[in-house]
Structure 1
Amino acid sequence: MKKAILFAITLLTVIATNAQRFHVNLLGGVSNYAGELEDKSFTLQRAKPAVALGLSYELTNKLFLRGQFTYTNLGADDKNSKIYSHIIRNLNFKTILQEVNLVAEYDILDNYTHKLVPYVFAGVGVYRFSPYTFDTLGRKAFLRGLRTEGQGLPNYPDRQVYRRTHINIPVGGGVKLALSDNIKVAAEFSLRNLFTDYLDDVSTNYPDLDLLGSRSAMLSYRGDELKPPIPFPGEGALRGNPDQNDAYYFLMFRISYRLPFGNSSQNKTSGKYYKNCPPVKL
């Protein structure tokens, strides 16, 4: 316990001493998803609101270490598709998505000497999702537990039950505008490269519906809900595209505030930090 208290005091001291190197970031914008239930790789037609809160540490005038928590919703529906095989599949999903990431952000120009600068960033993140839908009676159904493609069944040993928490690779860029040394605004676009194809619960082929429970079979293929109903295409027919993982992306606007406290002052022209020293008498 004493060690934990000592560590906390040390950490707070370091933060207080270097406070002017920290920037608090508040972001708001929209998110969207790319996968089997969306015809286009990028579109804002079905974008959902997204918010984020983070902290940046200024390593140099142009290089920042940035951590961030993001909250959003994702979803898509075959009813919006123009592809016939998707329309008759008639699937849909929604999910709440939460993400924590850590990225390196690099300004192409020095934002202390240039008011408007482009920047890029990349890093690693951890996100959690849980796709769900509603059945014909309006009941919410979480799809992972229903194993709609036969995941985990002995008949399909190559189909494992997917995890709801994964690692991703965030990459992106934007333009940053300095309103003052302490306040900056930015607009950025970012993409999350994923290592799963089950963000939407759709990936491979249709299983034998007789091997699934009744509710799982009902939500594995929903063409029979259409008017007129479309017959089940049969076991082995393509349900998704296993050769390409899903993805999601953001268009965000950011306001950053540099913490003004600490025992250092900043040269506003160069952006370099100097320790407080007594004036030199000539």
Structure 2
Amino acid sequence: MWREKPGTWLLNSGLGTTRYTGDLSELGNISHLQVGVAFNLAATYRVSQQLSYRAEAQFYYIYADQKYTRNYYNNLSFRSLNPDVWAGVQVDFWPINDPYRATIPYAIAGVGMTYMRPKAVYLGQSYGLSVLQTEGVKYSQLTGIIRYGFGVPLLANERFRFNLEGTYTHVLSDYLDDVSSVYPDRSGMQPLAAALSDRRAELGTTLNQPGEQRGNTGKNDGYFVVSGRLIFVIITPGQRSYRRQIGR
């Protein structure tokens, strides 16, 4: 009764939780998930009974602290509030006009960009890490992303939908957390950059030697988002006619 016809526009917003994955996270550590928050706005255009185009803008907050992992002795941490944008497709598992399915899950996939702004707190102050070049590497804060995930409609009426959706965003950079490869030679660094490059001194332990492992270059960073999405259907005369026809 409430399914939209091809050619319908939908506007939606989502609010959910984030989980960063990268050099400072630890797989399987459920006691310290270190979840953040995300808010996004999207527009969707239905092309056919199973295919829609979708574009979205989002702000997401992620963070991690090594003190909760097996690498606690390195004492690295970061936090970041970043924007991202992406565009792609939304594919329903079955045609939305299938009369035998009340709920039809969907998959999404697309590409976009994010702007990375990793920061760390040191002596009570927050500092941007990218400009400090804590690994002696100058990297771009603007990088590409690949996003994919699944969603399930939960509620629907003529004007509104409510979906539960989970996505993973693969970042095409290993510097989302400002950590990637090895500890640099800190002798030529500014004092602040050197202090944030190797934070063992804050624990009173011996600093790492240049060339020792700081991150994992074999895998780029990413983040999960699980959100509830409120969707507004833009009702047109054609949509009303279509709803009356399928409601007969």
TM-score by length of 1: 0.79
Instruction: Report what 1:46 is aligned to.
Output: 34
Q: Which of 102, 105, 127 is the aligned partner of 2:90? A: 105
Which secondary structure state, in structure 2, belongs to the residue aligned with residue 215 of structure 1?
helix
1:186 paired to 2:163:
yes
Tell me if structure 2 keeps the 8 A contact 1:117–1:177.
no
1:68-104 Cα deviation digits (max 9, x unpaired): 11112111011111x1xx2111011111111111120
What is the one-letter code of the residue matched to 2:224?
A: Y
Which secondary structure state, in structure 1, belongs to the residue aligned with residue 54 of structure 2?
strand
1:139 paired to 2:130:
no
What is the one-letter code of the residue matched to 1:184?
A: R
Tell me if structure 2 keeps the 8 A contact 1:88–1:223.
yes
Which secondary structure state, in structure 1, belongs to the residue aligned with residue 86 of structure 2?
strand
Instruction: Report what 2:217 is aligned to.
Output: 242
Q: Which runs of 5+ in 2 are unaligned?
A: none
Q: Which of 56, 61, 72 is the aligned partner of 1:87? A: 72
Structure 1 residues 197 and 41: CA distance shift in structure 2, 3 A:
farther
Which secondary structure state, in structure 1, belongs to the residue aligned with residue 105 of structure 2?
strand
Which secondary structure state, in structure 1, belongs to the residue aligned with residue 177 of structure 2?
coil
Which secondary structure state, in structure 1, belongs to the residue aligned with residue 131 of structure 2?
helix
Matched residues in 2 for 1:204 and 1:121: separation? 32
Tell me if structure 1 keeps the 8 A contact 2:165–2:227.
yes
Instruction: Report what 1:29 is aligned to.
Output: 16
1:206-229 Cα deviation digits (max 9, x unpaired): 111112111111110111111xx1
Tell me if structure 2 keeps the 8 A contact 1:111–1:178.
no
Q: Which runs of 5+ in 1 are unaligned?
A: 1-17, 152-160, 272-282
Which secondary structure state, in structure 1, belongs to the residue aligned with residue 220 of structure 2?
coil
Structure 1 residues 194 and 168: CA distance shift in structure 2, 3 A:
same
Instruction: Report what 1:154 is aligned to.
Output: none
Percent sequence identity over matched residues?
A: 26
Tell me if structure 2 keeps the 8 A contact 1:20–1:259.
no
Matched residues in 2 for 1:28 and 1:57: separation? 21
Tell me if structure 1 keeps the 8 A contact 2:14–2:229.
yes
Matched residues in 2 for 1:253 and 1:87: separation? 34
1:20-64 Cα deviation digits (max 9, x unpaired): 610011111111210111112786821112111111001012211
1:78 paired to 2:66:
yes
Structure 1 residues 234 and 23: CA distance shift in structure 2, 3 A:
same
Which secondary structure state, in structure 2, belongs to the residue aligned with residue 267 of structure 1?
helix
Matched residues in 2 for 1:170 and 1:222: separation? 33
CA-based RMSD of the aligned residues comes to 2.1
1:190-240 Cα deviation digits (max 9, x unpaired): 0111110000000000111112111111110111111xx110120110000
1:67 paired to 2:55:
yes
* TM-fit CA distance, 1:109: 2.0
Which range moves more in the overlay, 168-177 or 112-121? Answer: 112-121
Matched residues in 1 for 2:96 and 2:29: separation? 30
Q: Which of 103, 106, 120 is the aligned partner of 2:107? A: 120
TM-score by length of 2: 0.89
Q: How many residues are matched?
A: 239
What is the one-letter code of the residue matched to 2:105?
A: P
* TM-fit CA distance, 1:19: 11
Tell me if structure 2 keeps the 8 A contact 1:115–1:177.
no
1:93-128 Cα deviation digits (max 9, x unpaired): 111111111120011123344321111010111111
Matched residues in 1 for 2:105 and 2:6: separation? 25
Matched residues in 1 for 2:144 and 2:174: separation? 13
Decide which structure has the larger Cα Rg and report it.
1
Tell me if structure 2 keeps the 8 A contact 1:185–1:254.
yes
Instruction: Report what 1:177 is aligned to.
Output: 154
Instruction: Report what 1:162 is aligned to.
Output: 139
Structure 1 residues 120 and 66: CA distance shift in structure 2, 3 A:
same
Structure 1 residues 129 and 176: CA distance shift in structure 2, 3 A:
same
